[in-house]
Structure 1
Amino acid sequence: MPRSERLLHLLQVLRRYRRPVSGQTLAEELGVSIRTLYRDIASLQAQGAMIEGEPGVGYVMKPGFMLPPMMFRSEELDALVLGMRWVADRCDKTLSDGALSTLAKVAAVLPTELRRELEESSLLVGAPLKRPTHKVSPDLLRAAVRAERKLNITYADGRGFNSQRVVWPFALVYFDQARVLMCWCELRADFRNFRSDRISNVEQMEERYPKRRSTLLREWRKAHHVASRTILPDSGSMDH
């Protein structure tokens, strides 16, 4: 493994630990000697990485350190370009502008060779079959999720019948053909998923819901036996 790639791997490993981790553990995970590990940490510290610790005590990296531009591998650039292009093509204007701005900022700090690779990427996003129409601003839904605020929504089920719900929104899932608001529904006293294109009216309430959104997401995954990488199964628990 090239040294630059090894240093990147070391940074990524350190980011996973919130408490000091021993040099021996880091060396074993990277497949290097403890002496090489100490030299790599010293090199990263010299480049500005905020890694604290010492041999025999352990090491921890303070949050906020940005990766140097040369630390992107080709597959990481491919993932970044494809993901940002998907968001720019599939999402609302706020997220679309954010994706394009992110790509521009990354390109601006990349070395010439990597910038050319990013700009000439041949990973493209196909056009969706049908774009759903929405009566409610997705900005409002995202804001409610971030603020952990209850929402009072008017929702039409698959047969077109309207109901009034007070929900605790904790995630917003993006599919090609729909966006799905994941919530705890006070009416059903259970988790429910609501297609955002079927929400005709929404009011953000002043009251915050009593749990953290991360807690609700963990409870949802546990209740539905969903792995941590999976956001929402195709069947879901859509409220009809």
Structure 2
Amino acid sequence: MRRADRLFHLVQLIRGRRLTTAAWLAQRLQVSERTVYRDVADLQHQGVPIDGEAGVGYRLGAGFELPPLMFTQDEAKALVASVRLAQSWLDPALAQAAQEALGKILPVLPAGARAAAQALAVYAPPVGLPADVQRTLQELREAVQERCKVRVQYTDLGERASERTLRPLGCFYWGKVWTLAAWCEQRNDFRSFRIDRMQSVQVLQERFRDEPGRTLADLARLKGVRLQDEGGAVQAMATGPARASR
């Protein structure tokens, strides 16, 4: 990669995240951390408002704009593949938004990239989530975003029924199965619930705030896993399906 291209890509990576470490940038750009430090210093010297420092992380200052981007053929194919998968495995609102976003992107691509993306032989037949599970997933995702507690009627894998009041923390996809990670007020602990085993979900008006020991980041640290968030809010990635609550 030419240095000019690397600098442009570096700015794009920093722009897409709330906080970006040199180690993460070095991994994505396939260079050393020392090279990242040098590139960031050069960009700052040229007037690019990159805030932060080595060992802490970087963010892009407000108001900085770059010219519109053109996607490569592989990037355009990846977008099409992602949207096709979304139709079956995301909730209806996100699936529709993904389709609408793709509809805005494809028309402005170069003809070659657009044709290659539309001809991509990767498909997701409509055999994904049942409609009721999709609707529940959307309710829970929105409750996570709004920080609203939920009350659920749940049947576990042992066919035991219970009612729980939860602080929903995140929705996780394991391949055919979605789970909700939550703080359970009945158990006063973290629990994971299979969304397809929820008999009913009521989103409550009561909101909650992050409290030490009860956040998604706390759960990730407790389980020793790593949730990958491009925004940089939580850095962890789960290594396998969480056990459903009992």
Aligned pairs for 1:38-57 within 5 A: 51-52=48-49
| Native 8 Å contact 1:134 1:198 kept in 2 | no
Residue 226 of structure 1 corresponds to 225
> After alignment, is 217-226 or 158-167 more displaced?
158-167
Residue 134 of structure 1 corresponds to 132
- Quick one: which amino acid aligns to residue 143 of structure 1? E
How far, CA to CA, are the matches of 1:153 and 1:168 in structure 2? 11
1:48-78 superposed Cα distances (whole Å, 9 cap, x missing partner): xxx337xxxxx963357466232x3344333
| Native 8 Å contact 2:226 2:238 kept in 1 | no
What count of residue pairs does the alignment treat as equivalent?
220
- Quick one: which amino acid aligns to residue 237 of structure 1? R
Residue 53 of structure 2 corresponds to none
> After alignment, is 175-184 or 8-17 more displaced?
8-17
| Match status 1:12 vs 2:41 | no
Deviation at 1:235, TM superposition (A): 4.1
- Quick one: which amino acid aligns to residue 134 of structure 1? D
State the structure with bigger RCO (CA 8 A, min sep 6), 1 or 2: 2
Given the alignment, which residue of 221, 229, 245 partners 1:239?
245
Q: TM-score, normalised by structure 2?
A: 0.71
Residue 97 of structure 2 corresponds to 98
Structure 1 residues 109 and 2 mapped into 2: Cα distance closer, same or farther (>3 Å)?
farther
Deviation at 1:151, TM superposition (A): 0.8
Deviation at 1:7, TM superposition (A): 4.8
How far, CA to CA, are the matches of 2:123 and 2:202 in structure 1? 37
Structure 1 residues 146 and 153 mapped into 2: Cα distance closer, same or farther (>3 Å)?
same
Deviation at 1:216, TM superposition (A): 1.3
Q: TM-score, normalised by structure 1?
A: 0.73
Residue 56 of structure 1 corresponds to none
| Match status 1:155 vs 2:162 | no
| Native 8 Å contact 2:156 2:244 kept in 1 | no
Larger radius of gyration: 1
How far, CA to CA, are the matches of 1:114 and 1:7 in structure 2? 24
Query: After TM superposition, what 4+ stretches of structure 1 lie above 6 angstroms from structure 2?
Result: none
Residue 35 of structure 2 corresponds to 28
| Native 8 Å contact 2:156 2:245 kept in 1 | yes
Residue 144 of structure 2 corresponds to 145
Paired-residue identity, %: 26
| Native 8 Å contact 1:85 1:125 kept in 2 | yes
Any gaps of 5 or more consecutive residues in structure 1? 46-50, 54-58
| Native 8 Å contact 1:6 1:30 kept in 2 | no
Aligned pairs for 1:140-219 within 5 A: 140-211=139-210, 216-219=215-218
| Native 8 Å contact 1:192 1:238 kept in 2 | yes
Three-state SS of the structure 2 residue aligned to 1:134 is helix
- CA RMSD of the aligned region, Å? 3.8
Structure 1 residues 2 and 114 mapped into 2: Cα distance closer, same or farther (>3 Å)?
farther
| Native 8 Å contact 2:174 2:240 kept in 1 | no
> After alignment, is 91-100 or 152-161 more displaced?
91-100
